[in-house]
Amino acid sequence: MVALSILTAFAALMVLQVPIVLALIGIAFGYFWLNGFPLTIVPYTMYKTLNSFTLIAIPMFIFMGELLNRFRFASDMITITRRMFREKFGYSLRLNVILSLVFSGMSGSAIADIGATGRMLINASGREGICRSFAAGLTMASATIGPLFPPSIPLLVYAIAANSSSVRMLIAGVIPAVTIAAILYAFVTVYIWMLQRKQAPAAASADEAFPEEPPVSATSFRRDLLVALPVLCIIPAITCGMLFGIMSPSEVGAAAVLYTLILAMLYGRFHLRELWLSFRSAVVSSSAVVALLAAGSLYSTIMVNEGVSEYAASVFGNIGDNPLVFFLIINLLLIVVGMFIDGLTIIILLTPILLPIAQNLGIQPEQLGIVIVFNTMLGMMTPPFGLSIFAVASVSGLRIAEILRSILPFYGVMLVCLIALSAFPALSQWLPNVVFQ
> Residue 164 gets which letter from DSSP?
-
CB atoms within 10 A of CB 193: 11
Nearest to 202 by CA among 137, 124, 138: 124
pLDDT tens digits, residue range 165-215? 888 888 898 899 999 999 999 999 888 888 877 754 444 444 444 444 445
Give every residue of the chain whose pLDDT is below 70, as ranges. 1-3, 81-82, 84-88, 103-113, 115-117, 199-221, 309-320, 384-385
pLDDT of residue 209: 47
DSSP string, 177-226: HHHHHHHHHHHHHHHHHHHHHHT-GGG--GGGGSTTSPPPPHHHHHHHHH
Quick one: 321 exposed, middle or buried, by C-beta within 10 A (0-12, 13-18, 19+)?
Answer: exposed
Amino acid 210: pLDDT: 47
pLDDT at 212: 44
- Other beta carbons within 10 Å of 274: 17
**Rounded Cα gap, residues 292 and 105, in angstroms:** 24
Residue 268 region by backbone torsions, left for phi larger than 0, else alpha for psi between -120 and 50, else beta: left
User: Tell me: the pLDDT tens digits for 364-413?
Assistant: 999 999 999 999 888 878 776 677 787 788 777 788 888 888 888 888 88
Q: How far apart are CA 136 and CA 139, in angstroms?
A: 5
* Inter-CA distances, 422 with 170, 184, 233, 343, 366, Å: 18, 18, 32, 18, 11
The model carries a pTM of: 0.81
The number of residues making up the chain comes to 437
Please give the Cα distance from 428 to 437 (Å, whole number). 15
DSSP type of residue 55 = G
